[in-house]
Amino acid sequence: MFQRLNTETLNWILIIGVILFIAEIVFFNGGLIISALFSGLFIYFGWKNFVRLWGKILFWIGLISLVLSILNMLAVRFLVIVAIVLFIMNYVKKTQEAEKISPDLITHQEVIVDPMVIKQPLFHHKIFDDQQTDQTAYQWRDINIHGGFGDRIIDLSNTVLPNDTAVVSIRHFVGNVEIYVPYEVEVSIHHSSIFGRAHILGKHHLKIMNESLIYQTEKYDTTSLPRVKIITSIVSGDIEVKRI
């Protein structure tokens, strides 16, 4: 359905949705945003204590409240209406178009395909739950993930890093990120956070409010040893990068 839209049309839909979202905050019912944030906190603490009865109750109250808050937003209603209209238009267009079979023009031509290998990522995208690297030796693969709630722990001492630059990219909503780096590895860190704290190789920031921090070790740009480039973005949470 959305594949039929050109980029300009899709951009206009997103722009209108953002304008409605901002207008709702400024002029109409900004309380829904606060309600959604509190619901997210209920979900997080409920999930962290889901084994207890009060944790289950807190989680489901937060989830139901979050769904209701989201559905009451003007931007979400607009996107739902757009999706319904696009679905109807797509269905009508399909019923009116006759199936067309085009000849295969490359049957007798040699097709060159580069050999590809599918590799499993170290982490999967998860909205809830904690994640960490294996406690035993594992094969390194660059990390590029986003998540919702929970902690992320990455121990680089249990793997063999490549001879160039290993990349760790994490975009997270609420939770902490811990990264353990071997002493012989040079490091570059670019961290952004709305709320939280940062402890980066002996540098401590006890209060971050919508800031970006950029650090790198002295020999990062000149070393021939393995290097690690860490890029993290957290809405609310702490980051700790330390040697091990």
pLDDT of residue 175: 85
pLDDT of residue 73: 76
Q: Which residues on neighbouring strands pair with residue 177, listed in sequence order?
A: 152, 239
DSSP 163: S
The answer to whether residue 54 scores a pLDDT higher than 80 is yes
The answer to whether residue 188 scores a pLDDT higher than 80 is yes
Confidence of residue 228 (pLDDT cuts 50, 70, 90): very high
Q: What is the C-alpha to C-alpha distance for residues 180 and 172, in angstroms, rounded to an integer? A: 18
Question: What would the mean pLDDT of 138-151 be, rounded to a whole number?
Answer: 88
Which amino acid appears at position 93 of this protein? K
pLDDT greater at residue 149 or residue 215:
215
Tell me the domain boundaries of the chain. Answer: 2-96, 131-243
List of residues 6+ apart from 39 with CB closer than 8 A: 62, 63, 65, 66, 69
pLDDT in tens, 56-89: 888 888 888 888 877 777 777 777 887 788 778 7
Confidence of residue 96 (pLDDT cuts 50, 70, 90): low
Q: What angle (nearest 5°) sits at the alpha carbon of residue 191, between those of residues 188 and 194?
A: 175
DSSP 14: H
For residue 7, give both structure tokens: 């980029």
pLDDT in tens, 195-204: 889 999 989 9
pLDDT of residue 29: 58
Question: What would the mean pLDDT of 188-198 be, rounded to a whole number?
Answer: 92
Question: What would the mean pLDDT of 146-151 be, rounded to a whole number?
Answer: 85
Least confident of 32-36, 53-57, 143-147, 224-228: 32-36
Q: What is the C-alpha to C-alpha distance for residues 153 and 42, in angstroms, rounded to an integer? A: 23
Question: What would the mean pLDDT of 216-231 be, rounded to a whole number?
Answer: 88
Q: Which residue in 126, 30, 116, 130 sits closest to 75, CA to CA?
A: 30
Q: Which residues on neighbouring strands pair with residue 215, listed in sequence order?
A: 189
Confidence of residue 6 (pLDDT cuts 50, 70, 90): low
Residue position matching structure tokens 């944030």: 37
